[in-house]
Amino acid sequence: MADIEIVDAEGMKMVKVILSGDSIRSESGALHYMKGDIEMQTKAPSVGGFLKSMVSGEDIFRPTYKGKGEIYFGPPTLGEYHILEIEGEMILDQGAYICSDIDIEVGIFRNKGMSMIAGGEGFFQTSVKGKGNVVVHSQGPLQVIHLENDTLTIDGSFAVARDASLQFTSKMLGKNALSKIAGGEGFVNVIRGTGRVYLAPVPNKLMTLMNRFRVIE
> Could you tell me the CATH number of the domain that includes residue 14?
3.60.160.10
CA distance 127 to 44: 19
The chain-wide mean pLDDT, for the chain, equals 85
Band (41; pLDDT cuts 50, 70, 90): very high
Determine the distance from the C-alpha atom of residue 136 to the mean position of all C-alpha atoms in its chain, rounded to a whole number. 5
Q: Tell me phi and psi for residue 154, to 5 degrees.
A: -125, 125
Residues forming beta bridges with residue 169, ordered by sequence position: 190
Q: Quick one: what percent of the chain has pLDDT higher than 90?
A: 62
Q: How confident is the model at residue 126 (pLDDT cuts 50, 70, 90)?
A: very high
- Residues 154-211: pLDDT tens digits? 998 899 999 999 999 988 876 655 555 454 457 889 999 999 999 999 988 777 776 6
Provide the number of structural domains found in the chain.
1
Furthest-apart CA atoms within the chain: distance in Å: 64
> Which residues face 89 on adjacent strands?
129
What pLDDT is attached to residue 217?
A: 46
Q: What is the pLDDT averaged over residues 131-150? A: 97
**Which of 15-19, 44-48, 109-113 is least confident?**
44-48
Residue 152 to residue 146: CA distance in whole angstroms: 10
Task: For residue range 43-73, list pLDDT tens digits in order.
Answer: 765 545 545 544 445 556 799 999 999 999 9
- Domain extent, residue 209, equals 3-216
Three-state SS for the chain is: CCEEEEEEECCEEEEEEEEEEEEEEECCCCEEEEEEEEEEECCCCCHHHHHHHHHHCCCCCCCEEEEEEEEEEEEEECCEEEEEEEEEEEEECCCCEEEEECCCEEEEEECCCCHHHHCCCCCEEEEEEEEEEEEEEECCCCEEEEEEEEEEEECCCCEEEEECCCEEEEEECCCCHHHHHHHCCCEEEEEEEEEEEEECCCCCHHHHHHHHHHHHC
Q: State residue 56's pLDDT score.
A: 45
Q: 111 falls in which pLDDT band (50, 70, 90)?
A: confident
Q: What local confidence, expressed as pLDDT, does residue 200 receive?
A: 96
Residue 213 has pLDDT above 60, yes or no: yes
